């Protein structure tokens, strides 16, 4: 009756009628998933010539203005590869709203003086590429294997990382980049922070962005009614293609009015990444027992002084009155789940159950990274913004 449930557990029970779809956490007790991607890949890596040095982007001064905070430097490759490490040739790097938080030092503990003492430090959170060399004691990874990683230093031509941080993937494609910070945040946050079940009403803000596109689809695949906010016709068109039940284009509709009139009993799960006034609106829209997941606050990342905290008076009273929950989610603290959820996302994608939207605007080479970050913060992007670090890769692949 519901093909979207293929591969899921179904209980025949009297607990909730004759049929019961377990929650993701319950289902996990019965499904066996590999810790490493074992699907045979048809990818053939081109030969990689190791240069004496390479280029990377570093943060040289603390500022929320990414362009002013960073510069491209050339540095020695540093061979041989250290034991238990791999050298990765980066093909594509992902752009994130929080790049500006990183360049301003927000993700380091201590005061400004402590953070400034770390300068310069490497920029970029995520990338995919090809393993170009391996160090001693590395047995499960081979030269030529495609892999992804989420460590500092993604905006570079090469990077040396501990082998345990390399996530094997079938191909080093832009779609895989989108599955990293953006896809994994949606997948793990909805399962852990949102405790997502079937039959709920799920609201996703900034739904046509890098992570929102995954959240709406995963919520639909779980059997929920999905409401999504966006700004503009192109974004609304994408969300319609992704199967969203109710699209609220705030360029033509008032979000608060729509939620009050059409969802008067409230929203069960909200996946929120905008912050500011939107977060306040979401708090007021939560249903009894509602769960609000905060995965970011992009509206507060820019400005003369960068990230500006907001105040939400009466928050405790609101939550207490309706037994509601607000959960923060930071992907770094769920590293032990990355490979499992990445495998799951790619399986959904490869079987046609999950679509991955990459913004069509091309950003080629490291010199375009600042443009890409500014483009993301302009609000014009649709889908995941990706930088092609090695523009010759596609030509090499075509020859094969």
Q: Find the CATH number of the domain harbouring 123.
A: 3.90.180.10
Residues 154 and 224 in one domain: no
| Tokens found for residue 257 | 């009015």
Residues 121 and 152 in one domain: yes
Residues 45 and 116 in one domain: yes
Residues 159 and 202 in one domain: no
Residues 218 and 139 in one domain: no
Q: What percent of the chain has pLDDT over 70?
A: 88
Question: Distances from the Cα of 10 to the Cαs of 3, 6, 27, in angstroms?
Answer: 13, 10, 9
Q: What integer pLDDT is reported at residue 345 of this predicted model?
A: 96
Residues 136 and 193 in one domain: no
Instruction: Say if residue 298's pLDDT is above 50.
Output: yes
Cβ-contact 306, 273 below 8 angstroms:
no
Cβ-contact 287, 203 below 8 angstroms:
no
Omega into 27 within 30° of 0, i.e. cis? no
Residues 147 and 165 in one domain: yes
| Tokens found for residue 182 | 């953006």
- pLDDT tier for residue 34 given thresholds of 50, 70 and 90: very low
Q: What integer pLDDT is reported at residue 299 of this predicted model?
A: 76
Residue 256 domain-assigned (yes or no): yes
> pTM for this one?
0.84
Q: What are phi and psi of 277, to 5 degrees?
A: -60, -35
DSSP 45: P
| Tokens found for residue 215 | 């959240």
The whole-number average pLDDT for the span 303-329 is: 79
Residue 315 domain-assigned (yes or no): yes
| Tokens found for residue 383 | 């889908």
Residue 356 domain-assigned (yes or no): no
Q: What integer pLDDT is reported at residue 300 of this predicted model?
A: 72
Instruction: Say if residue 353's pLDDT is above 50.
Output: yes
Domains: count for the chain: 2
Give pLDDT tens digits for 227-236.
Answer: 999 999 999 9
Residue among 297, 293, 94 at smallest CA distance from 204:
293
Residue 342 domain-assigned (yes or no): no
Residues 23 and 68 in one domain: yes
Residues 191 and 162 in one domain: no
Instruction: For residue 329, give its domain range.
Output: 180-333
Residue 294 domain-assigned (yes or no): yes
Instruction: Write down which residue in 315, 333, 351 finishes a domain.
Output: 333
**Does residue 123 or residue 313 have the better pLDDT?**
123
Residue 308: which CATH number? 3.40.50.720
Q: What integer pLDDT is reported at residue 398 of this predicted model?
A: 41
Residues 197 and 319 in one domain: yes
Residues 322 and 214 in one domain: yes
Residues 162 and 16 in one domain: yes
Instruction: Say if residue 396's pLDDT is above 70.
Output: no
The whole-number average pLDDT for the span 46-64 is: 94
**Does residue 114 or residue 234 have the better pLDDT?**
234
Beta-carbon contacts of 177 under 8 Å, excluding residues fewer than 6 positions away, are: 92, 93, 94, 126, 127, 128, 148, 384, 386
Residue 348 domain-assigned (yes or no): no
Residue 312 domain-assigned (yes or no): yes
Find the range with the poorest average confidence among 31-40, 299-308, 315-324, 376-385: 31-40
Residue 341 domain-assigned (yes or no): no
Q: What integer pLDDT is reported at residue 149 of this predicted model?
A: 97
| Tokens found for residue 23 | 């929650």
Q: What integer pLDDT is reported at residue 132 of this predicted model?
A: 96
- pLDDT tier for residue 35 given thresholds of 50, 70 and 90: very low
Instruction: Say if residue 305's pLDDT is above 60.
Output: no
Q: Give CA–CA dist 346/148, Å, rounded.
A: 12
């Amino acid at each position: 009756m519901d093909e979207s449930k293929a591969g899921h557990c179904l209980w025949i029970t009297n607990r909730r009628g004759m049929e019961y779809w377990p929650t993701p956490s319950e289902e996990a007790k019965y499904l066996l998933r590999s810790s490493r991607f074992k699907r045979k890949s048809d990818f053939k890596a081109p030969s990689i010539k190791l240069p004496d040095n390479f280029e990377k982007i570093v943060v040289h001064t603390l500022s929320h203005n990414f362009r002013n905070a960073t510069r491209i430097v050339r540095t020695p490759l540093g061979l041989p590869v250290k034991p238990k490490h791999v050298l990765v040739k980066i093909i594509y790097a992902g752009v994130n709203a929080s790049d500006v938080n990183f360049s301003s030092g927000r993700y380091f503990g201590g005061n400004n003086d402590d953070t400034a003492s770390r300068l310069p430090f490497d920029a970029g959170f995520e990338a995919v590429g090809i393993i170009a060399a391996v160090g001693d004691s590395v047995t499960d990874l081979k030269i030529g294997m495609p892999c992804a990683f989420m460590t500092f230093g993604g905006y570079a031509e090469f990077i040396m990382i501990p082998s345990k941080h390399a996530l094997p993937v079938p191909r080093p494609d832009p779609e895989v980049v989108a599955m990293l910070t953006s896809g994994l945040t949606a997948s793990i946050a909805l399962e852990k922070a949102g405790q997502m079940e079937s039959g709920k009403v799920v609201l996703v803000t900034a739904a046509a962005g890098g992570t929102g596109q995954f959240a709406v689809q995963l919520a639909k695949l779980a059997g929920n009614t999905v409401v999504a906010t966006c700004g503009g016709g192109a974004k609304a068109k994408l969300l319609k293609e992704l199967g969203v039940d109710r699209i609220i284009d705030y360029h033509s509709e008032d979000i608060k009015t729509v939620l009050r009139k059409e969802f008067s009993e409230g929203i069960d799960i909200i996946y929120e990444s905008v912050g500011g006034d939107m977060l306040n609106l979401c708090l007021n829209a939560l249903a009894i027992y509602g769960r609000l997941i905060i995965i970011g606050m992009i509206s507060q990342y820019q400005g003369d002084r960068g990230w500006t905290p907001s105040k939400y008076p009466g928050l405790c009273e609101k939550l207490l009155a309706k037994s509601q929950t607000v959960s923060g989610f930071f992907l770094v603290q769920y590293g032990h789940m990355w490979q499992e959820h990445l495998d799951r996302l790619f399986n959904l994608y490869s079987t046609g159950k999950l679509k991955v939207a990459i913004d069509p605007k091309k950003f080629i080479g490291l010199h375009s990274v600042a443009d890409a970050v500014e483009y993301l913060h302009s609000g014009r992007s649709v889908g995941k913004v990706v930088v092609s670090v090695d523009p010759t890769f596609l030509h090499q692949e075509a020859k094969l």
